Amino acid sequence: MTISVGEKIPSTNFVQPTADGPQGVSSDEFFKGKRVALFSVPGAFTPTCSAKHLPGFVEHAADLKAKGIDEIACTAVNDAFVMGAWGKASGVDGKVTMLADGNGDFVKAVGLEMDGSKFGMGPRGQRFAMVVNDGTVEHLFVEGPGEFRVSSAEYMLENI
C-alpha cells in the first residue's frame, strides 16, 4: 500500500556516499527534526533523471530552502558508489544529498516500487517526490508511468 500524506516514514536504511566512503543512515535519523524535500528516480545516470529531474533540484535548491526546506535529498535503487559518482558528475555538492536505496527497502516500505525488468533494470523506485516534516509525509507527488511532471522541483515549489 502506498504511503499517504500524514503518515510516518517507515524505518528503513539508506547508504549515503561521503568523502570517507559509504555511511549507513536510518530513515528515522535522516528525517528527524527537519523538513526534507525527497525525490526518487528510477536510476542514476538515466536520461530523464540526469537531464531534468536531478538538475531541477540542484537549480532550485535555494528557492526550496526559502520555502522552509532544510535539506533536499535524492534516492534511487542504486548503490552508494553510483549515487556518489552521479552526484559528483551533476554538481550536487552542498545542494542535494544523495541517498542510495540499493536493495529497494525504502521504496518497498513506502509502496512506491516498480518493475523495470522490461528495460533491463529490475526492481526500482517509481519517480516521485515528497516533503517529509520530522518524519511525517507533508506532501506527496507520484508520477504516472513514463511521466515527469509532478515530481519536478518546479512543481514542488508551486505546491508547497
Q: What is the CATH number of the domain that holds 50?
A: 3.40.30.10
Is residue 5 assigned to a domain? no
What does the pLDDT look like over 14-44, one tens digit per residue? 999 999 999 999 999 999 999 999 999 998 8
Task: Give me the domain span that covers residue 71.
Answer: 13-159
What does the pLDDT look like over 95-146, one tens digit per residue? 999 999 999 999 999 999 988 788 877 788 999 999 999 999 999 999 998 8
Catalytic annotation, residues: 49
Query: Residue 158's pLDDT is what?
Result: 96
Is residue 72 assigned to a domain? yes
Structure-derived torsion over alpha carbons of residues 35, 41, 43, 49, reported in degrees to the nearest 10 = -110
End-to-end CA distance of the chain: 24
Query: Residue 50's pLDDT is what?
Result: 81
- Cβ burial, residue 22 (10 Å; 0-12/13-18/19+): middle
Is residue 96 assigned to a domain? yes
Query: Residue 126's pLDDT is what?
Result: 94
Query: Residue 46's pLDDT is what?
Result: 83
DSSP, collapsed to helix, strand or coil, labels residue 126 as: coil
Query: Residue 99's pLDDT is what?
Result: 98
Is residue 8 assigned to a domain? no
Confidence of residue 60 (pLDDT cuts 50, 70, 90): very high
Domain count, the chain: 1
How many alpha carbons lie under 13 Å from residue 22 in its C-beta half-sphere?
Answer: 15
Is residue 1 assigned to a domain? no
Which is nearest to 87 in space by CA: 77, 74, 101? 74
- From residue 98, alpha-carbon distances to 8, 94, 129 in Å are 21, 11, 14
Is residue 57 assigned to a domain? yes
- From residue 131, alpha-carbon distances to 22, 105, 118, 144 in Å are 25, 19, 30, 18
Is residue 3 assigned to a domain? no
Give the separation between CA 101 and CA 61, rounded to whole angstroms: 22
Strand order in 23-26's β-sheet? Answer: 23-26, 13-16, 97-100, 71-76, 35-40, 128-133, 136-142
Per-residue pLDDT, averaged over 51-68, amounts to 95
